[in-house]
Amino acid sequence: MKIVVLDGYTLNPGDNPWTTLAGCGDLVVFERSTPDEVEERSDGADILITNKAAVPASVIERTASLKFISVLATGYDVVDVAAARHRSIPVSNVPGYGTDTVAQYVMALMLELCHHVGEHARSVREGAWTSSPDWSYWKQPLIELKGKKLGIVGFGRIGRRVAELGRAFGMEIVYATRTPPTDPSVEYRTMVEVFEEADFISLHFSLTEESEGMVDEALLRRMKPSAFLINTARGALINGDDLAMALNQGTIAGAALDVLAR
């Protein structure tokens, strides 16, 4: 059985050996693969393992030996799942490994939007505080999270963890999800209602053909001018041009993005 790892460097930069996996078959590990290299390196593979290297339909269709695809991350939009399903090839992901880390990062972005810690630190080093005529010094308005409304779009593992952390800051939590609401302790809203009501909106839903570009000008215009948008899910969930326009025109107060469409 031939096992091919298309981009193993992220998972194993040198401190996480492939020993166990190597015992399962003929293992070939590539640190990184370009799209053209994916085509070539997939040839003859029974199992393909990837992190961010895309596995398109063309690879799935031409690799006759292929029996299984594993994504070493939560998001699996790098794989043409429809093509894999057509050939009855299972596709797995790792849904739970980054729950706490991503949720913590969401809060870090939220706090940066509230306090601009980096900007204030730089300005203090440059002497702006010592030259200020007032004891209280700030470059941007400082925002307190307590009492603010946090809207979470997508209520899976990460979304629920973000809700827990938001509660710890005294925030009111509302959420939207494509599945029927199951948590009576959190107030369910439609996506439009979340965008209309929330002071902070955090995106945690999957990228699909239906959801690509879902956060567009029409939805952004429903946000309050004082509201902030946070995206740690997939960049293409947001129409980037529409977001840039909303920021430049002051339609919303700001955004913090860990991902971009391009």
Segments of the chain assigned to CATH 3.40.50.720: 2-92, 99-257
Rounded Cα gap, residues 210 and 206, in angstroms: 10
Rounded Cα gap, residues 261 and 243, in angstroms: 12
Which overall architecture, per CATH, does domain 99-257 show? 3-Layer(aba) Sandwich (3.40)
* Best CA proximity match to 43, nearest among 93, 2, 14, 75: 2
* Best CA proximity match to 171, nearest among 114, 221, 118: 114
Please say whether the beta carbons of 85 and 61 come within 8 A. Answer: no
Write the single-letter amino acid at 209: E
Please say whether the beta carbons of 160 and 122 come within 8 A. Answer: no
The predicted-structure confidence for 194-226, as pLDDT tens digits, reads as follows 999 999 999 999 888 899 999 999 999 999 999
Phi first, then psi: give them for residue 2, nearest 5 degrees.
Answer: -100, 125
- DSSP H/E element including 71: strand 68-71
Rounded Cα gap, residues 82 and 18, in angstroms: 29
Record the tokens describing residue 243, joined without a space.
Answer: 């977001």
* Best CA proximity match to 10, nearest among 58, 52, 68: 52
Hey, how many other C-beta atoms are within 10 angstroms of the C-beta on 108? 14
Which overall architecture, per CATH, does domain 2-92 show? 3-Layer(aba) Sandwich (3.40)
Q: 215 has which bridge partners?
A: 238
Question: What is the separation of C-alpha 60 from the centre of its chain, rounded to a whole number of angstroms?
Answer: 26
Rounded Cα gap, residues 259 and 146, in angstroms: 27
The predicted-structure confidence for 141-183, as pLDDT tens digits, reads as follows 899 999 999 999 999 999 999 999 999 999 999 999 988 777 7
**Segments in the chain below pLDDT 70:** 262
The whole-number pLDDT of residue 262 equals 66
The DSSP output letter for 170 is: T
Rounded Cα gap, residues 204 and 152, in angstroms: 7
For residue 62, what are the CA distances in angstroms to 28, 70, 237? 19, 18, 30
